[in-house]
A and B are shown apart, each in its own frame.
Chain A
Amino acid sequence: MKKYIALRFVYIIFVFLIISLLMFMLYNQIPTDPARMELEPVRRELKPAEYQELYLRLREQLGLDDPLLMRYGRWMGILPEKNGSWNGLLQGNFGYSNFYKKPVIDVIPEPMFNTVFINIFATIMALGITIPLGIRTAVKKNTRFDGTVQVISVVGYSVPVFIISLVFIYFFAVIFRIFPVMGMKTPGTNYTGLRFVVDRLYYLALPLIVLTFASLGGMTRYVRAAMIESLSMDYVRTARAKGLREKTVIYSHAWRNALLPVITVVIGWFIGIFSGSVIIENTFSLNGMGKLYIDGLNNLDYELVLAMQMFYTIISLVGILITDLSYGLVDPRVRVNK
């Protein structure tokens, strides 16, 4: 097992390097000139010849004319800079955001906090609804209740999230005026303490409902399938033959076994809470990771985008690893290092 995990880690690093190289190459397609940008403030004070000389020297210093792989190494932090210092991604230099005028590392915390806050709530709510619903539909298989839930869940995962958002905004924010249309807090207020939390929750309620609703379809079907599989097993028949109460059969015998595949998916979900929903955050103007990403693309703030892209990649790779490992953890019959 340890050997397997170590192997997987090596493999993740390898994949990460390949993806980051791809991203770096893509990023280099954008015509930018850091040397010229650095010299822009002093440009007027210099004579053209001096400027040209300084410019060429700076290019040389920054290593802008070196081959792509060397520049990639410096950016990643696996090769030293021209002056011998190490200053790359691995040393914690995530780049400089041109739009916010501060290092990327200082831009990210607030949106990250908001995203995690939203997603933890949404995930808990979604699980709280889908698991009981999935079990119930499995137990009442082929009844009218089951059919209705099935149809709704198909609708749930077929309809794009932004349409669900628009419909929910229409009903809850425009027609009934229960929730605000968009935003994070009441404009012009500066609450602290409990009032801040209440205000924040009031503004986040609608996005949370949409997020929960949008994730219902897939998960309900997944729980239902696992549960039906489990209910058809011999041990369930044995348990019933022993005369156990139906509740005990369903929750102690069947559900515990159905839990195994479900848990792996749930773990994958929890990894996703850091990345945020690009669509929902943009539709509701929430200051989260997804919105930061889109704004970065729109504002041509590519160093920020690149750093976030690396972050997303790590999240995704670690998510896959943990999902794979959790198969073995929750079900000893699955031996991952086979």
Chain B
Amino acid sequence: MNETMKKDKGFFLTRWAKRLFFGGGRELSFMEEEALQSPMRTIIKNFFSKPLSRIALGVFIAIFLFVIIGPLFMPLDLSYQDNTQKNVAPGLNMMSVPRELESNLRTIAPGTTFGAGLDKEGKVYTWGYTRITETINLAAIPPEVREARMVDLAVGYDHAVSVDEEGKVYVWGNTRLDQAKLSKPLQEALESGEPLKFKQLEAGNQFSAAVTEDGRLFVWGNSNLNDVRRIKKGYDTNIKKVTTNINTYLVLTNDGEAAYVGTQSNAFSKVPEAARTGVVDIASTGFSNAALKEDGSVIIWGNPAPAERELPPHEGKLVRIWGGRNHYVGLTDSGQLIAWGNNTFNQSVVPALSEGAQVVEVFSGYYQNYMLDSNGKLTKWGLKGYLLGTDHLGRDILNRIVNGGRVTMTVGAISVVISLIIGVIIGGLAGYFGSYVDLVLMRVAEIVGGLPFLPFALILSAIIGSRLTTEQRVYLIMFVLGILSWPGLARLVRAQILATREMEFVTAAKAMGVRENSIVFRHIIPNVISVIIVNATLSFASAMLIESTLSYLGFGISPPTPTWGNMLTGSNNSIIIQQYWWRWVFPAIILSVCTICINLIGDGLRDAIDPKSAER
């Protein structure tokens, strides 16, 4: 008793794995081993004796766990897409503030996939993924900007705007859509000779807004997209603050009124009654506006996501708020910093303040947050970047690889199971009963096998699939693959059974009066199981290949459901192949590695089962 207890020591997982792969029981000396080894154990031993098979199995298990466990940590949001994050290169440097700026910081302007900052000497820094398109790069700061001493800086979707000590306005980045075309009042004010003193600078999606010390408001930019053509009368003076969201802006007057001062009517233009008086601070996310009242309550309107309305519990009352792409950050009078809203990139998880430090300033925008404390330390949280980049709709490639792998593997596995069930039953019946059953079933198998596979799968998917939802299409593909690929297996099983059914143990079973069904499925099939396993492994790889081929051609599983195949759809043009290489390289690598491993495992198993074939 004591001895067995001792032997069972060790980490329970290793014990499980041992029992799973090598069987339990006591250790055998090598004399006994020869005598007692079952065929299954010989196969396993042979299989593991080859390094290539071991490596392939290990890699495959790793990929399998990655796509099975991965989705738990990286849930898929099918409706997610964000224009501001499209075609971002792999990297985790979106918040890598240069060190020399960090110690000498005046302001930070968080951008979509990059950041820009200004130090106390008026020098502009940029970091992160600043290439908006092939030709527009925000890191290419014009020489006149580099020479002047800047006092404020803001970045929009594809442009940056800054003002220098003399009140001159600079715009760079994409300037083709009127981003640099200053509005008439601003031009007049600049030309009047009296230097403008800017209090605040904001930039949105291809437009910019500025507030001066004496409360004047200027907006300019792409007026086709944004509501910047005219400012509502009476609101171009006495302004305290301006914020920008997707394509409108919101102002706060010195009288404590949050006002929409554009001329269009939209979800943002109806400012709630409560936000008309007693407002101390305003903020905007991409799709909503928020006004903070004197009593610390927050009024939110526009098109906010539900999470943007749910303030977390906090001590004291809020005194300041900031907005990102779809989250808010707030500061209470007790010095506590809170954040709420979307949390896909951990942008709503505020890191703890260091001991005794006070929040001095927060810079929030898009998915990035920077907080400067009284010790001069800069804390960052939010989106660092994408490990494998993003695709043309701003979706994270890593997330889609993980979730797409689950779909690809599930489709492959279920279609193999379907083809196994049909193939084993039909092959088994044909092989055992022979004569007419054999004739009819084998003719059926030949008809199905005679169908040209890819064209037939394409036409089935095109005709039936056009009326199905995305989810039903996944099932359709599984069934099409399963139903078209069984004949090979059926023929194999039949041939094996033809050979096996003449053996003595079958005769013995018959003599004992065992029912025929039971003879086929309980006595003969277990003897041909090894061939079936090898075949199933190899056809798992080919099912994955065919699914991804169909999806690549656009007839398999359709987006937004990701699979490794449809992630590669449309990659066959030189721009994607070269400029956005991460969009095809990563899915291609994981799909290839996975199918190579499965094929190696299948080959290894076949060699292990039939050592004679290894000599070939």
Contact = CB atoms under 8 A, between A and B. Distances in A.
User: Is this pair of chains taken from one and the same complex?
Assistant: yes
B577 interface: yes
Contact of B459 (A157, A305, A315): A305
B592 A158 contact: yes
Contact of B460 (A26, A162, A293): A26
B599 A158 contact: yes
Contacts of A157: 599
Contacts of A302: 463
Nearest to B613: A225
Interface stretch (A72-80, A84-92, A119-127, A276-284): A276-284
Nearest to A175: B578
B616 A225 contact: yes
A233 interface: no
Interface stretch (B78-86, B232-240, B329-337, B448-456): B448-456
Given A181-B574, A224-B616, A313-B452, A154 B599 contact: yes
A220 interface: no
Interface stretch (A40-48, A165-173, A239-247, A248-256): A165-173
Given A225-B616, A316-B451, A163 B591 contact: yes
B584 interface: yes
Contacts of B616: 224-225, 228-229
Interface string B559-595: 0000001001001111001100100100010011001
Contacts of B555: 297
Interface string A280-322: 0011100000000110011000100100110011011100100
A312 B452 contact: yes
B443 to A, nearest CB: 8
A284 B573 CA distance: 9
Interface residues of A, number: 53
B592 A26 contact: no
Interface in B538-560: 541, 545, 548-549, 552-555
B463 A26 contact: yes
B615 interface: yes
Interface of chain A, helix or strand or loop or mixed?
helix
A59 B463 CA distance: 24
Given A29-B463, A278-B455, A19 B573 contact: no
Contact of B456 (A173, A294, A298, A309): A309
Contacts of A228: 615-616
A330 interface: no
Given A181-B574, A278-B454, A294-B553, A154 B568 contact: no
Given A166-B568, A297-B459, A309-B459, A316 B450 contact: yes
Interface string B111-149: 000000000000000000000000000000000000000
Given A282-B553, A293-B458, A316-B450, A165 B603 contact: no
Contacts of A173: 574
Contact of B458 (A162, A170, A275, A297): A297
A228 B555 CA distance: 41
A113 interface: no
Interface in B49-81: 52
B553 A160 contact: no
Contacts of A225: 616
Contacts of A317: 450
A154 B596 contact: yes
A284 B571 CA distance: 11
B267 interface: no
A158 B577 CA distance: 21
A68 interface: no
A218 to B, nearest CB: 11
B62 to A, nearest CB: 17
A166 B450 contact: no
Nearest to A317: B450
B508 interface: no
A170 B549 contact: no
Given A18-B447, A170-B581, A279-B552, A162 B568 contact: yes
A13 to B, nearest CB: 12
B596 A315 contact: no
Contact of A297 (B446, B462, B464, B598): B462
Nearest to B587: A163
B458 A294 contact: yes
A160 B577 contact: no
Interface string A140-166: 000000000001001101111111011
Contacts of B615: 228, 232
A206 to B, nearest CB: 12
A69 interface: no
B151 interface: no
B600 interface: yes
Contacts of A129: none
A174 interface: yes
Contacts of A309: 452, 455-456, 459
A175 B578 CA distance: 8
A165 B552 CA distance: 12
Nearest to A308: B455
Given A160-B545, A283-B572, 8 more contacts: A26-B459, A29-B463, A159-B592, A162-B549, A166-B571, A174-B574, A278-B455, A305-B462
16 contacts: A15-B443, A19-B450, A26-B459, A157-B599, A158-B592, A158-B598, A159-B592, A174-B578, A181-B574, A181-B577, A279-B553, A284-B572, A297-B459, A312-B452, A312-B455, A312-B456
The 5 A-B residue pairs with the shortest CB-CB distance, nearest first, are: A312-B452, A158-B596, A158-B595, A159-B592, A297-B462
Interface of B: 52, 443, 446-447, 450-452, 454-456, 458-460, 462-464, 541, 545, 548-549, 552-555, 565, 568, 571-574, 577-578, 581, 584, 588, 591-592, 595-596, 598-600, 603, 615-616
